[in-house]
Amino acid sequence: MMPSLSSPDRLIFFVNGRKVIEENADPEVLLLYYLRKTLRLTGTKYGCGGGGCGACTVMVSRYNPKTKKIHHYPVTACLVPICSLHGAAVTTVEGVGGIKTRIHPVQERLAKCHGTQCGFCSPGMVMSIYTLLRNHPEPTPEQITEAIGGNLCRCTGYRPIVESGKTFCGQSTSCQMKGSGKCCMDQEESDFDKKTEKICTKLYNEDEFQPFDPTQEPIFPPELIRMAEDPNKRRLTFQGEKTTWLMPVTLDDVLELKASFPKAALVMGNTTVGPSIKFKDAFYPVFISPLGLPELHFSDITDGGVTIGAGYSLAQLSDALHFIVSEQPEEKTKTHHALLKHLRTLAGAQIRNMATLGGHVVSRPNFSDLNPVLAAGNATLNLRSKEGERQIPLNGHFLEKSPEADLTSEEIVLSVHIPYSTKWEFVSGLRQAQRQENAFAIVNAGMSVKFEDGTNTIKDLKMFYGGVSPTVVSASETCKELIGRQWDDHMLSDACRLVLAEIHIPPDAEGGMVEYRRTLIISLLFKFYLKVKRGLSKIDPQKFPDIPQEFTSALEEFPIETPQGLQMFQCVDPRQSPQDPVGHPVMHQSAIKHTTGEAVYCDDIPPVADELFLAVVTSTRAHAKIMSIDTSEALAHPGVVDVITAEDVPGDNNHNGEVLYAQNEVICVGQIVCTVAADTYTHAKEAAEKVKIAYEDIEPRIITIEQALEHNSFLSVEKKIEKGNVEQAFKHVDQIIEGEVHVEGQEHFYMETQTVLAVPKQEDKEMVLHIGTQFPTHVQEFVAAALNIPRNRVECHMKRAGGAFGGKVNKPALLGAIAAVAANKTSCPIRFVLERGNDMLITAGRHPLLSKYKIGFMNNGVITAADVEYYTNGGCTPDESEMVMEFIVLKSENTYNIPHFRCRGRPCKTNLPSNTAFRGFGFPQAAVVVEAYITAVANQCNLLPEEVREINMYKTINKTAYKQEFNPEPLRRCWKECLEKSEFHARKLAAEEFNKNNYWKKRGLAVIPMKFTIAIPTAFYNQAAALVHIYLDGSVLVLHGGCELGQGLYTKMIQVASRELNIPSSYIHTSETSTVTVPNAVFTAGSMSTDINGKAVQNACQILMARLQPIIRKNPKGKWKEWVAKAFEESISLSTTGYFKGYQTNMDWEKEEGEAFPYFVYGAACSEVEVDCLTGAHKLLRTDIFMDAAFSINPAIDIGQVEGAFIQGMGFYTIEELKYSPKGELYSRGPDDYKIPTVTEIPEQIYVTLVHSRNPIAIYSSKGLGEAGMFLGSSVLFAIYDAVTAARKERGLTKTFPMNSPVTPELIRMICVDQFTDMIPRDDPSTFTPWSIHVS
């Protein structure tokens, strides 16, 4: 029930030093929405809405009247209810610094260290590092890494972000490798000097940074100190539309309210209640928020242990435990150590600073990392209610939510008591997740054992597991059975058998990975067994022998190291004019705006008068007839203006096979059926949930490639290339192997979700769109077709996108048309921003692929025949699937010259959302198959895969399988340098030595070569145009058809114009890409945007310079401005278009030959990993990348592209896993269940070298490097397979095994077959329907 109220209180807090008074604070309003929509502070970004990406990080500061200290901490604004901020000060990126006021050193250094590309994550990164500096003005590198662990970046690969943070660290931050003080690359630099070209390693100049003075930060508002110290504080009440927020100020008041409203949510950090409201439709009419109560905020150390107040955040808990561990002997603090280990990787810094100990313990999530450890350590809960105090044990009954062991509805947790451990007691926390940090555990455990003093006889044993059932479970029966037993191998095998019998994970369990989770239950138990044996041996080595030496590495967790590296590129010729920026590592032209939050993205555009918000209603069936759509309830909802369906589309609802609104039938889960337009997004979303659609399923429902092949369901005809005589060649080989490779898909996870602002004009049916896209022309085409108007009535404006990676080539056209139809129907501007979950569901991603190969080879490793088939899962409409398959077939040889080669491919039509373009465009899936069969051949011949690569690689000028001539010399250089400079052979020997001495951990290395292509085999797709204006003050405006997605295209275009016009970059501005200024522009994709737009800008500038030439000749010593003024006086036009006809590529699929691509980009990468065979975890130790850049126009941007693509590729091949239900519903709809790399996944050491070569066909002899690095991420995949092969060899298993992608922890663990994988129960697949399936 809702409390009855007289009048609500005023909410008072500060934002960036300014007082905010909210008379009608609504408990449902979250800080992110309030900042962006009410205060119009748009620097704080929406990335996921669930606290999982860090894009909305801000700093909250509070004054503690007890300690008289100010506490600064980072939070994710998307989870913070504004009502919780009473008396707090909020600092956003705008409050840290800005271009108009003063840029803060954090913002400056992140920009100048090239730590920003698309810029959408940058404000969050700034706030995480800034908050750290407010608490630790001279942080350690480890603190920097920890501070940004909760922030995702999809562009940079993190290294430059960490580097910018490290400039604030006390000691030197350059790569003084391994403490020797000598740089590992010094030797090689001197080698380079002997040649003609000099190698540079500095991408920025630290001397340019303004000094950081921690004393200059804004003061905490004195008014808030007075408010906090007010002795007459009283309970506050905030009343919203549907909910009430009560803020008690005494413990008695809390208990009084809990008695009155037993069902009320007790909210502190809102990290549990918030997501349950947002994603699980939970509803709480009353919130009680006892923030800042001293009775809940304390840490009390006694003889028996430590008691921590339930209001402590997990970050404060960590600080308290660190203090205890430093003060007390180790044998007493085993539980505290175990908790600290898990607190380091639990969520990110923001969530750890918001979530409280009490909230975490009481909510009892089944994935909790802390509760199993607390239970194993005999923790107790101190409870309070109006009735009084009582203690309950934090044990299995409590964690399994048994009613008799639970809190009553009127009780709250006051504190948690964590007792000390004893000498003969051991406590451990163990976990395995998809990613080391900021990821829910797949399985975790808390275990403790107590021995009879002086023996290894079990006196007490506790085992708690998370992730194996709907609650944390206790293996109490197993523990009972083992009491009195000796801690030995017999006990271990019985324990494994017993615990598997006791903890049953049903075969169709939610979350899937059933056999893996069963294996982890006993693998983690084995790790605990070893830890305890090691512990006993330390107490008395005579009595208790130590574990075998080769087992010791199983005890060590992978450390979280601060990444370091070196970037090498060609120095600029000293004879080049100092004002010519070409070849210099110039900072991204929007970088400072990114880091100050002043860069305007689509949803940052201020509200337009009468604008409405659009929410989507999507299909819940994969293939069904729409029987009826009932919109009556939705239309009656407050604020709703209209519901838009297929009937409302004036023109084409199906344009080129792409359907806007589903009509009569739905063809995938996630297809848009209708949209709701309302005055706020909340109203639109609530109404969308009230639309009722009746379906009737249609057969067949095709989800996987195998199902498509059964039903002969394809999107295009077969594409094929063939050379030599494959059938004949197979008759003359020593060996033939056949195999298949599955490569799963990938989500783009651009940080800015798809966003459209559609504004209908008053006259002539004109429509203006502001949209984040890679292809404005395509948006224009779809909108014109949908509205049945000519294209000249549709304007598309594109300033910048917060990442795209191919996902904004085709999809924005569809979404833009949907918004335009709504704007047309309602005659109001429409703001259409997809929530992350809908974005992932609707827009799909990279094509999953199935390949079947047959390879014929000689015993010496020479491959003479290959027959390869490729099938992709294209989804339900054509999109780019046919072109992706053409690229796959054309690029399917990678770097290998196989004389008899046949490749065929076909995209499958399925009932999944349509897959689309994604960085690398098919090549990252296709080439992994090539390297898989190379590795399989190497295994058969007892050779290193690198030897087989070398043997079969193109070596001299030759022709591809489709008869295009090329010179592989740069490939050979990249390959040779990669092997030498990475010290591959020496490190390979060292890894073999490591593997000999370690049974449960293995190291692996792989070197992967690459021959990549840029541009499109259809010539007209390679054309570009530009428009350049010179104004009378000498300033220049450069416009072109390319879109700025974070790849630095605008920056490079300014560099081109600066060189061509021979003026400083500061004279040149580039504003936006628009269909008004440059019509009919092709897509910004295929790594060719600098190539083609650069040529167009160059052409325009050269035309203008030719016009100015007579004036310059007359006055050669004049200034640019004088020449421009004179030209105007002489009526010489100072504006022109520039044009580039495009690379004249072609491909004849009938003849199977053509000049398909203008040139090739070569590269090679070496990666080294360490794998934990017991859990499937891996650690990337080092990566060396050698990329043939020819001549780099901007080494900072190019290296940023290479590193960013590499990390994105590494994610694709390892931890990024999309899960679908057997009915075709995507489960992975946000950062909680789709894991892209964080800062902890990147290589501990990363070395990138841009190799110099010539490429006269392209502008300034450069090469397009936007996508090439993606495939080099597969060096991590093959390094993991190398490590796994070593493990399998030692265990006497076959050398060849399926090499699929991604190689997740689950896959690694289950391929490393051992006694534990043999022990688990297996289910007959025909007896159950699995929770999730693979769709490749």
Active site residues: 1267
Q: How many CB atoms lie within 10 A of CB 556?
A: 12
From the list 1077, 1138, 1228, the residue with the least C-alpha distance to 48 is: 1228
The residues near 1304 (Cβ < 8 Å, ≥ 6 apart) are: 434, 1176, 1214, 1215, 1217
What is the token pair recorded at 967? 């010179």
Give CA–CA dist 144/125, Å, rounded.
11
DSSP helix/strand/coil, 913: coil
Return left, alpha or beta for 1048; rule: phi > 0 is left, psi -120 to 50 is alpha, else beta.
Answer: left
Per-residue DSSP letter, 37: I
Q: How many whole angstroms separate alpha carbon 399 and alpha carbon 319? A: 25
Give dist(CA 168, CA 182) in Å, integer. 22
In one letter, which amino acid is 1246? I
Give φ, ψ of 50 to 5 degrees: -125, 10
Q: What is the DSSP string of 235-295?
A: -EEEE-SS-EEEE-SSHHHHHHHHHH-TT-EE-SS-TTHHHHHHHH----SEEE--TT-GG
CA atoms lying within 13 Å on the CB side of residue 452: 9
**Nearest 5°: phi and psi at 9?**
-85, 170
H runs (alpha helix) in 136-250: 141-147, 159-166, 186-194, 222-229
Work out the end-to-end distance of the chain between its first and last CA atoms, rounded to an integer number of angstroms: 51
Torsion sign (Cα): 39, 45, 49, 55: negative
CA distance 1239 to 419: 35
Compute the radius of gyration of the chain from its Cα atoms.
31
* 303-306 long-range contacts, CB within 8 A, separation 24+: 304/417, 304/419, 304/420, 305/417, 305/418, 305/419, 305/420, 306/336, 306/417, 306/418
The dihedral of CA 254, 260, 262, 263: what is its sign? negative
- The span from the CA of 798 to the CA of 789, in Å, is 21
Residue with tokens 């009780």: 411
Q: 99: exposed, middle or buried (C-beta count within 10 Å: 0-12, 13-18, 19+)?
A: exposed
> What are the beta bridge partners of residue 433?
441
User: CA 1087, 1090, 1096, 1097: dihedral to nearest 10 degrees?
Assistant: 160
Return the amino acid letter for 1089.
S
The strands making up 412-419's β-sheet, listed across from edge to edge, are 299-301, 305-309, 412-419, 380-385, 388-393
